[in-house]
Copies of this chain bind each other. A is one copy, B any other.
Amino acid sequence: MSQVRLGEIVDELGGELIGSRDLTISRIGPLEGATPSTLSFLSHPRYQAQLATTQAGCVIVAPAMREAAVARGAALVTDDPYLYFARLTQWWARRVRPALPPGVHPSAVVSPKALLGRDVRIEAGAVVEADAVVGEGAVVGAQGYVGQGARLGAGTRLAPRVTVLERCSLGERCIVHPGAVIGADGFGFAPHAGEWVKIEQLGAVRIGNDVEIGANTCIDRGALDDTVIEDGVKLDNLIQIAHNVHIGAHTAMAACVGVAGSARIGRHCTVGGSAGILGHLTIVDHVHISAMALVTRSILQPGVYSGSFPIDDNKTWEKNAATLRQLHTLRERLRALEKKFSP
């Protein structure tokens, strides 16, 4: 592993160090389980109690926590400890996982008609088809597939086993995790005499800069126009984005979310895990959907929206669920009683 002095970190990332620049850090870690060579952080005053007991060599804290932190040892004071921690992980990762060298692995199958930028890295078993464009410094991980005319912007990294199908494009500095599928056909059929007639999906997928896409997540190509993911969107694993969806910049979705066709989601939204969003509706900016809620209509006001059945012990749930199936009747009965006794 890596070893680093606290002074190097502060020189690189800023913050006010209270304690010795020479303290050696070998690990970034949570307060719990930290050792004297661990650099830890306190993201929220709620965890303050852990400050007293942690063995961490140094703790990153907000100004308000300065005294409590100093009382126990070295501290690194910064306005936003969580942000500092994020940047620290990035700096740390560059040290312990140096960028792999550019080059095309001999087992990769790259069309002579593909356009490779400077310093690209194409790993073992990858396939890059004709007219594909791989931007400067971009990486196609092992066993990845970049279809005909697809485009990866500069610095975009596909992990192993990612599929980007024909004519789809990603901007710069995107990260795509294994198993993700970008540009499979949208699910479109016209019913005819009891059967389904395929609507060929003639659009593509257009993804902005700094987008991250999780493992086994699927983003379908549009039917006629494109499916669009704006800059800075973050999608977790196993998410379904249907054809012609539009996701605004800096929106983030947790795992297992499903978004149906032509939904239009605003900027700076968050969607909780396993939530669903029906098709052909609009969600404005700054909307936050809770886990497992189903959005069945447009949401035109910013705010937090929820809709999951509260979990309970099975016996209680069964009784309540049974009653719920007669809820409308209950309301009628209540109304009747009220009427009887209204003046």
Query: Using Cβ atoms and an 8 Å threshold, which residues of chain B touch A224?
Result: 27-30
- A266-286 residues with Cβ-Cβ distance < 8 A to B are 268, 273-274, 276, 278
Among A145, A175, A234, A318, chain B packs the most CB atoms within 10 A around the CB of A145
Q: Report the bound CA distance from A163 to B158 in whole Å.
A: 13
* Contact across chains for A303 and B314 when beta carbons are under 8 A apart: yes
Contact partner, A309, options B188, B197, B308, B333, Cβ 8 Å:
B308
A190 on interface, CB distance cutoff 8 Å = yes
Whole-angstrom distance between the Cβ of A1 and the nearest chain B Cβ: 10
A59 on interface, CB distance cutoff 8 Å = no
Query: Using Cβ atoms and an 8 Å threshold, which residues of chain B touch A93?
Result: 200, 202
Contact partner, A145, options B142, B294, B326, B338, Cβ 8 Å:
B142
One complex includes copies of this chain to the number of 3
Query: Using Cβ atoms and an 8 Å threshold, which residues of chain B touch A12?
Result: none
Whole-angstrom distance between the Cβ of A296 and the nearest chain B Cβ: 6
Query: Using Cβ atoms and an 8 Å threshold, which residues of chain B touch A225?
Result: 29-30, 33
Q: Report the bound CA distance from A294 to B321 in whole Å.
A: 13
List 20 additional A-B contacts (Cβ < 8 Å) besides A83-B192, A165-B178, A337-B338. Answer: A89-B200, A109-B125, A124-B127, A125-B125, A142-B145, A145-B178, A184-B214, A187-B255, A189-B234, A196-B252, A256-B276, A276-B292, A291-B294, A303-B313, A305-B311, A306-B318, A307-B311, A312-B325, A319-B328, A333-B334
A-B residue pairs, 9 tightest by C-beta: A307-B311, A86-B190, A93-B200, A89-B200, A304-B314, A184-B215, A306-B317, A240-B255, A319-B328
